[in-house]
Amino acid sequence: MPRQVDREARREEILAAAVRVFARCGYAGSRIEDIAREAGIAKGSVYLYFGSREELLRAAFEGLAARSEALLAEVGRRPGGAAARLELLVRSVMELLARERDLARVLLDVWSAGVRAPEWIDMAAFYRDYRAAVTALLTAGGERGAEPAVTPEAHAAVLVGAIEGCVLQALFDPTVDLAALVEPLVTLLVPSEEGGHTS
Amino acid sequence: MPRQVDREARREEILAAAVRVFARCGYAGSRIEDIAREAGIAKGSVYLYFGSREELLRAAFEGLAARSEALLAEVGRRPGGAAARLELLVRSVMELLARERDLARVLLDVWSAGVRAPEWIDMAAFYRDYRAAVTALLTAGGERGAEPAVTPEAHAAVLVGAIEGCVLQALFDPTVDLAALVEPLVTLLVPSEEGGHTS
Amino acid sequence: MPRQVDREARREEILAAAVRVFARCGYAGSRIEDIAREAGIAKGSVYLYFGSREELLRAAFEGLAARSEALLAEVGRRPGGAAARLELLVRSVMELLARERDLARVLLDVWSAGVRAPEWIDMAAFYRDYRAAVTALLTAGGERGAEPAVTPEAHAAVLVGAIEGCVLQALFDPTVDLAALVEPLVTLLVPSEEGGHTS
Amino acid sequence: MPRQVDREARREEILAAAVRVFARCGYAGSRIEDIAREAGIAKGSVYLYFGSREELLRAAFEGLAARSEALLAEVGRRPGGAAARLELLVRSVMELLARERDLARVLLDVWSAGVRAPEWIDMAAFYRDYRAAVTALLTAGGERGAEPAVTPEAHAAVLVGAIEGCVLQALFDPTVDLAALVEPLVTLLVPSEEGGHTS
DNA sequence: GATGAATGAGCGTTCATTCAT
DNA sequence: CATGAATGAACGCTCATTCAT
């Protein structure tokens, strides 16, 4: 069914155009016409693929969320020690956000929308899943006696938060090199394998 | 003589109302009339104190920035070891953002505006200063030989990022208890005093 | 009654200020506050002397009209031949408008208001009187057989029109020297004394 | 394909509607919505053809200016004596303004705008060209020894002024018959052919 | 009287969305 | 399917006018 493929491809084209425009102008500053022009189609045609402007933002987020979930799943599937897998997760996520600067920029507006319209973009669930995955890996890594005050859940929140916060700073300041923050993040927040007994 | 008003006080009232409305509806979704109603005045009166809607957002951020700078300065003035002061800084910032939920919510829109209009809201400078202060405290704390891979600058970025990122998660998810994240943050990212030479 | 004098003097001050501002910014572009500032008083005080912004425009016109009527009356009182008096009228009017550039500029807005709100500013009556005076002088000057096709009324309309039209051009174009147009106006449109029978 | 429209025709329709409304209410008193209603379209649609309310006023003037220039050019192309052509010019202009009462009314606002925003509507240039054309015709008509005091330039200014001034009076006062002023204008201000050598 | 803070109707302009072609 | 002209609700901002002090 080539029809279907075409339709889907066109949808993706438009979404990609929307992400570029959102990144450039912000969601509030992006007019449907700008997106249509960026996609090389007519204004009205956008509505053949997306029901509203808001849906474009949601789709953008869902694309990012899907990729994140894929990463999480991928890490879940991987063999190896929990610490190594957690490290991989951190590296993957950072790499994804560093590579997709536009998507990261759009994230700012998505966050805002998510706070204001939880039933529309469920950021709470997204980050809950994210933390849950990290928590699982932290727990699997074995309890390190050193820090009894830090529950795995809290540790996960800090790690996830640090990732998002580093991306945030890199968005504001081109001086901040996101790639250079990966090692520090791992070093500081990913517990090193202990004894290697997980292998 | 017209009604005597404390212009500065009135300005603050309106700003506070604006912050509440921004927090509730987002900057994009907040109409001047909503803000005026929240402040108990007429629409036009807002313009006696603020030149534009945008100026309200900027003022909101500047209020937060001023408080943050005050915190930084306060910490700088404090006696005591660097680690203790850094810990104090983290606690203070977290407490500020936990207490001023509305302001934190508005931060989401400010971030978006700051990325898009750097000359308008200089987020880069704000976070640069923030990191610089943390870096100074980290450096003063003495180099711990354990992690030579993590420069103080990178460590600062991770710590600052973690704070912002934790606040972010707390905004999305009321389940996330910001207060409960303070200890983990400190434990994981504030190096403990070394040798106790500060005593 | 010094009170009365003061009040009247203040009124004139404000009116003069208004004329300056109207001339500079146009009636539509002049805010009450501008006028108040120009007059060195507070906004609200304008309303102690004038009931509305429109009234200021009307008063400006009435001032000009009063002066014009004074000129007409003066010419009527003068001894001498009709032609000489007509010439005097033309010279006086031109001189008035050349001297009071601001008032002339305001005239543009007054014309517009007069066309749109005849009951408010009765331009028809003003120009009717003006033409009547000129007609009277033309008639008194004796019928010159040369141009039977031109009634005194029509001649008056042309003369009055020429004056206004010359002023108009001078307003647009500083290059146009209003003073230099007086002689041509007189030469071309004021019939020269005939036989001197008026003496 | 969307409704097929002749954009240029639609633009003219809207402009014509705007001229009618401007004539009725004055530029300052004309709301975009009035113009849209007069044109039988929705408010927003006006902006598909004109960038702003001001642009409508400018376009109205430019339409009039274009027609005037066409008249000037037409007269320039005509064969015949200079005096006859000048007479034709006067008659044509008067006829145009008599026919297009609305446009003439709008002229009042255009004048005001032109004085206040010369870079926007260059009235100075418009009347300069106008006078130049008349001057050329006057000069070509041969110098009449009778009035050495009146330069052709001044004569042109008086003639042009008289035309505008007559139109002005007719706008205020329906009693004033513009058509009846054409002959007097010609008789008084267009020098009659000399020697009849042009025939 | 004089002031200027407060008001709120009013308007220009934008832009998401619709739909006739 | 695609188009882009048309729509009209929405909103930021202005400013004439009022009135408490």
Give the pLDDT confidence of C39-59 residue by residue, as tens digits. 999 999 999 999 999 999 999
Here the tokens at position D26 are: 């004055």
DSSP string, B119-154: TTS-HHHHHHHHHHHHHHHHHHT---TT-TTS-HHH
The distance of C181 to chain D (nearest Cα, Å) reads 6
Comparing C18-22, C36-40, D14-18, D77-81, the range with the smallest average pLDDT is: D77-81
Q: How confident is the model at residue C140 (pLDDT cuts 50, 70, 90)?
A: confident
DSSP D147: -
Chain C residues with CB-CB distance to D165 below 8 A: 158, 160-166, 168
The one-letter amino acid code at C78 reads R
Does A197 reside within a domain?
Answer: no
Here the tokens at position B58 are: 């900027």
Are B89 and B9 in the same domain? no
The distance of B38 to chain A (nearest Cα, Å) reads 18
Does A196 reside within a domain?
Answer: no
Comparing A136-145, B111-120, C7-16, the range with the smallest average pLDDT is: A136-145
Are B67 and B125 contacting, i.e. CB atoms less than 8 angstroms apart? no
The one-letter amino acid code at C143 reads E
Contacts 24+ apart (CB under 8 A), C133-139: C133/C72, C133/C75, C133/C76, C133/C89, C134/C86, C134/C89, C134/C159, C134/C160, C137/C75, C137/C82, C137/C83, C137/C85, C137/C86, C137/C89, C138/C82, C138/C86, C138/C191, C139/C82
Q: What is the pLDDT of residue A145?
A: 53
pLDDT at residue D67 above 70? yes
Q: What is the pLDDT of residue C197?
A: 47
d(CA B83, CA C57): 73
Are B31 and B88 in the same domain? no
Q: What is the pLDDT of residue D145?
A: 54
d(CA A173, CA B115): 9
Mean pLDDT of D181-197: 83
Comparing B109-123, C55-69, C135-149, the range with the smallest average pLDDT is: C135-149
Greater confidence, C141 or C140? C140
Angle at CA of residue B11, ends B7 and B15, nearest 5°: 175
Burial of A37 (0-12, 13-18, 19+ CB in 10 A): middle
- B26 and A112 in contact by Cβ < 8 A? yes
Among C51, C77, C93, the domain boundary falls at C51
Taking the CA atoms of residue D74, residue D80, residue D81 and residue D82 in that order, the dihedral angle to the nearest 10 degrees is 10
By residue count, chain A amounts to 199
- C165 and D169 in contact by Cβ < 8 A? no
The distance of C95 to chain D (nearest Cα, Å) reads 16
| Residues 6 or more apart whose Cβ sits within 8 Å of residue A112 | A27, B26, B27, B28, B108, B109, B112
Are B159 and B101 in the same domain? yes
Query: Residue D43 CA to F9 C1' — how many Å?
Result: 11
Are A14 and A41 in the same domain? yes
| Residues 6 or more apart whose Cβ sits within 8 Å of residue C62 | none
- In chain B, the number of structural domains is 2
Strand E neighbours among D 39-68, CB < 7 A: 43-44, 47, 51-54
Does B195 reside within a domain?
Answer: no
Q: What is the pLDDT of residue D5?
A: 80
| Residues 6 or more apart whose Cβ sits within 8 Å of residue D79 | none
Are B4 and B92 in the same domain? no
Does B127 reside within a domain?
Answer: yes
Are C77 and C135 in the same domain? yes
Does A195 reside within a domain?
Answer: no
Q: What is the pLDDT of residue D129?
A: 95
Task: Please state, for a pLDDT cut of 90, what percent of chain D lies above it.
Answer: 85
Does D194 reside within a domain?
Answer: no
Q: What is the pLDDT of residue A76?
A: 87
Query: Residue B1 CA to E4 C1' — how many Å?
Result: 7
| Residues 6 or more apart whose Cβ sits within 8 Å of residue D80 | D198
| Residues 6 or more apart whose Cβ sits within 8 Å of residue B123 | A172, A173, B110, B111, B114, B115
Q: What is the pLDDT of residue D198?
A: 44
- C172 and D114 in contact by Cβ < 8 A? yes
Are D67 and D21 in the same domain? no
pLDDT in tens, D4-15: 789 999 999 999
Are B41 and B72 in the same domain? no
pLDDT at residue B198 above 60? no
φ/ψ region of B15 (left if φ > 0, alpha if ψ in -120 to 50, else beta) reads alpha
Does B196 reside within a domain?
Answer: no
CATH number of the domain that A142 lies in?
A: 1.10.357
- B158 and A166 in contact by Cβ < 8 A? yes
Q: How confident is the model at residue C147 (pLDDT cuts 50, 70, 90)?
A: low
Query: Residue C168 CA to F17 C1' — how many Å?
Result: 34
Mean pLDDT of D180-187: 96
Are D178 and D122 in the same domain? yes
Q: Where are the alpha helices (DSSP H) in C42-151?
A: 43-46, 53-77, 82-99, 101-116, 123-140
d(CA C107, CA B32): 39
- Residue with token string 């707390």: B170
pLDDT in tens, D32-52: 999 999 999 999 999 999 999
- B111 and A108 in contact by Cβ < 8 A? yes
Q: How confident is the model at residue D57 (pLDDT cuts 50, 70, 90)?
A: very high
The distance of B86 to chain A (nearest Cα, Å) reads 16
The closest alpha carbon to B88, from B77, B100, B98, B101, belongs to: B77
Are C80 and C44 in the same domain? no
Angle at CA of residue C49, ends C44 and C54, nearest 5°: 85
Burial of A195 (0-12, 13-18, 19+ CB in 10 A): exposed
Are C74 and C149 in the same domain? yes
Does D197 reside within a domain?
Answer: no
The closest alpha carbon to A165, from A145, A149, A183, A181, belongs to: A181
d(CA C93, CA C176): 17
Q: What is the pLDDT of residue A56?
A: 97
DSSP string, D27-57: TTT--HHHHHHHHTS-HHHHTTT-SSHHHHH
The closest alpha carbon to A109, from B140, B114, D88, belongs to: B114
- CB-side exposure of D145: number of CA atoms within 13 Å? 0
- D166 and C157 in contact by Cβ < 8 A? yes
Select the residue of D124, D165, D168 nearest C172 (Cβ to Cβ): D124
CATH number of the domain that B174 lies in?
A: 1.10.357.10
From first to last of its 199 residues, what are the pLDDT tens digits of chain A?
556 668 899 999 999 999 999 999 999 999 999 999 999 999 999 999 999 999 999 999 999 999 999 999 999 888 888 999 999 999 999 999 999 999 999 999 999 999 999 998 999 999 999 999 999 999 986 655 556 779 999 999 999 999 999 999 999 999 999 999 999 999 999 997 665 444 4
pLDDT at residue B177 above 60? yes
Nearest nucleotide to A33 (CA to C1') is E15
Contacts 24+ apart (CB under 8 A), A50-59: A50/A11, A50/A14, A50/A15, A54/A113, A54/A120, A56/A14, A56/A15, A56/A18, A56/A22, A57/A18, A57/A22, A57/A27, A57/A106, A57/A109, A57/A110, A57/A113, A57/A121, A58/A113, A58/A120, A58/A121, A59/A15, A59/A18
Q: What is the pLDDT of residue A192?
A: 79
Q: Is the CB of B70 under 7 A from strand E?
A: no
Strand E neighbours among B 30-69, CB < 7 A: 41-45, 47-49
Query: Residue B47 CA to F11 C1' — how many Å?
Result: 15
Are A72 and A130 contacting, i.e. CB atoms less than 8 angstroms apart? yes
CATH number of the domain that B38 lies in?
A: 1.10.10.60
Q: What are the backbone dihedrals phi and psi of residue B78, each rounded to the nearest 5 degrees, phi first?
A: -60, 145
Are D74 and D115 in the same domain? yes
Chain D residues with CB-CB distance to C130 below 8 A: none
Q: What is the pLDDT of residue C92?
A: 96
Q: Where are the alpha helices (DSSP H) in A47-151?
A: 53-77, 82-99, 101-116, 123-140
Taking the CA atoms of residue C164, residue C93, residue D154 and residue D121 in that order, the dihedral angle to the nearest 10 degrees is -40
Q: Is the CB of A52 under 7 A from strand E?
A: yes
- Domain range enclosing D20: 1-51
- B184 and A150 in contact by Cβ < 8 A? yes
Q: What is the pLDDT of residue B80?
A: 85
Q: Which nucleotides on strand F sit less than 7 A from a protein beta carbon?
A: 1-21
